Amino acid sequence: MMTITLPTHHKAIDITSETCPMTFVRTRLALDTMETGQILLVRLAGADPLKNVPRAAADQGHDPLDLLEQPDGTWLLVLQKG
């Protein structure tokens, strides 16, 4: 079994079962509960969320810091609330 070290974060959500546009709606709701500068980890899957969630977050003034591919084929988006 592989151990994955997650980036330091304040909150994490899993939106792998969501479809667009709910992927960003769930991300935005999580960001709305956080303070500026805090880090949100978003676990996502699929081509559309992979493209749209980081772009929509940046359009809203947040900073996509990293996008990490996971062994199970999902991705972890590291966002800093703007």
Domain count, the chain: 1
Residue 26 in any domain: the answer is yes
User: Is pLDDT above 90 for 6?
Assistant: no
Q: Domain of 66: which CATH number?
A: 3.30.110.40
Looking at per-residue pLDDT, the higher value among 8 and 49 belongs to: 49
64 in any annotated domain: yes
Question: Are 76 and 48 spatial neighbours (Cβ–Cβ below 8 Å)?
Answer: no
Q: Is residue 6 domain-resident?
A: no
Classify residue 5: in a domain, yes or no: no
Residue 32 lies in a domain: yes
Query: How does pLDDT run across 9-63, given as a tens digit for each residue?
Result: 899 999 999 988 999 999 999 999 999 999 999 999 999 999 999 999 999 999 9
What's this model's pTM, rounded to 2 decimal places? 0.89
- CA 79 and chain centroid, separation: 6
Domain housing 32: 11-80
Question: Residue 73 falls within a domain, yes or no?
Answer: yes
62-78: average pLDDT = 95
Closest to 76 (Cα-Cα) out of 54, 48, 59: 54
